Amino acid sequence: MSAKNPRVAVVGATGAVGREMLEVLAQREFPASEVVPFASSRSAGTKVEFKGVELTVRELKEDSLAGFDLALFSAGGSTSEKFAPLAAQAGCVVVDNSSAWRMDPNCPLVVPEVNPQDLEWHKGIIANPNCSTIQMVVALKPLHDEARIKRIVVSTYQAVSGTGQKAINELEHQVSRLMNCQEVEPKVYPYQIAFNCLPQIDVFLDNGYTKEEMKMVNETRKILGDSTIRVTATAVRVPVFYGHSECVNIETEKKLTVQQTRQLLAAAPGVVVEDFPEKQIYPLAVAAAGQDDVFVGRIREDESIDNGLNLWIVADNIRKGAALNAVQIGEELLRRNLLRVPK
């Protein structure tokens, strides 16, 4: 075991995000001495690919992560709540993709392009933010630094892959049946998702918002380190396989012109500006799928207020919205020599 060549566990390795984590680790040549896939007893024994080699998935048990330096979790909140503390107690740093630890005051909630400094105070568990929040704050960080954002109004158009493989299969199945004049029976979602939009992601809360919407509200404030930012969100599921799109309206203390905004975003890490409306060039979910960056376009002033801007933000929700961000956190931990659990 070495701080420079850590042993890495991928928990939930048979899921869509877990498989993407393995792919990203390989593509970015993460300097692991060993990468080991884990999953539940139901999936243990299956094979996953890593660097052209088939690895056998091991069953995750209470003592499984002893001897590992880094564990990337993508196995659901209940699994994380049980096994992440055990891993941290054994000296393994956990980067968790569930919502279990995001608002825990003892756990940093990190997007490496935005708040890598928060890794300095980790206690063994680091939370990976919600996919919709990640892509939004990557784009908003340089604007917040320059002009301080006072208010955010965001509407999301989220791909079915955010729900998992069953939802991808359901959209495929429904499209096929409807194109052949056959009826569909929704199973994953409460209503038909093919050729439809569902203004509900996760369950409704007492305030009328869904959990997904309130994640964006609370996580944005924590990541940007500013609890005074007013945020409101509407999250919608759309019949797209990969790639979340967001319409974001911001109000800033200091005025930003369109040209200033384009320049700030073009210089920001992880951001690509695609904003040539006269040529019909703007970010598209189908183009962002499989890409690492966050794409921003349709940049224009909100003429209804003094210091307002509208942005269209698109990113691959499985990649930057989950797997890539987790691996980038691991890379940042290595750079900062933080791949250890404080005693």
Residue 341 has what pLDDT? 83
pLDDT at position 3: 61
b/e sequence 91-127, b meaning 16+ C-beta within 10 Å? bbbbbbbbbbbbeeeebbbbbbbbbbebbeebebbbb
What is the pLDDT, as a whole number, of residue 1?
40
Residue 181 has pLDDT above 50, yes or no: yes
Same fold, 7-128+322-335 and 133-317: no
CATH no. for 7-128+322-335 = 3.40.50.720
The pLDDT of residue 163 is above 60: yes
| Element (DSSP H or E) covering residue 271 | strand 271-273
> Which residue, among 12, 76, 20, has the nearest Cα to 320 in the 3D structure?
20
Strand pairing category for 244-252 and 230-237: unpaired
Chain length of the chain: 343
Residue range 293-302, pLDDT digits in tens: 999 999 999 9
Residue-wise pLDDT tens digits, 197-231:
999 999 999 999 999 999 999 999 999 999 999 99
What are the structure tokens assigned to 231, written together? 């945020």
What's phi and psi for 241, nearest 5 deg? -75, -50
User: Is 244 among the residues known to form the active site?
Assistant: yes
Mean of pLDDT values over 128-135: 98
- CA 319 → CA 28, 101, 211, 343, distances in Å? 13, 20, 22, 33
Q: In what order do the strands lie in the sheet with 58-59?
A: 58-59, 34-39, 7-11, 70-73, 93-96, 125-127
Choice among 92, 122, 144, 244 that is catalytic: 244
pLDDT, one tens digit per residue, over 38-84 is 999 999 999 999 999 999 999 999 999 999 999 999 988 899 999 99
Give dist(CA 109, CA 116) in Å, integer.
9
Name the nearest CA neighbour of 145 among 116, 167, 114. 114
Looking at the domain that runs over 133-317, which CATH code has it been given? 3.30.360.10
Q: What is the pLDDT of residues 277-314, one digit of tens each?
A: 999 999 999 999 999 999 999 999 999 999 999 999 99
Domain ranges of the chain: 7-128+322-335, 133-317
Local structure of residue 60 (DSSP, 8 states): P
pLDDT of 182 above 70: yes
C-alpha torsion sign, points 7, 13, 16, 19: positive
Are the beta carbons of 68 and 86 closer than 8 angstroms? no
**Is 107 marked active-site?**
no
Which of 92, 107, 131, 144 is an active site residue?
131
How many Å apart are CA 284 and CA 245, to the nearest integer?
A: 8
- The three-point CA angle 154-164-288 to 5° equals 55
Whole-number Å distance between alpha carbons of 207 and 199: 15
pTM of the model: 0.95
pLDDT tens-digit map of 256-280: 999 999 999 999 999 999 999 999 9
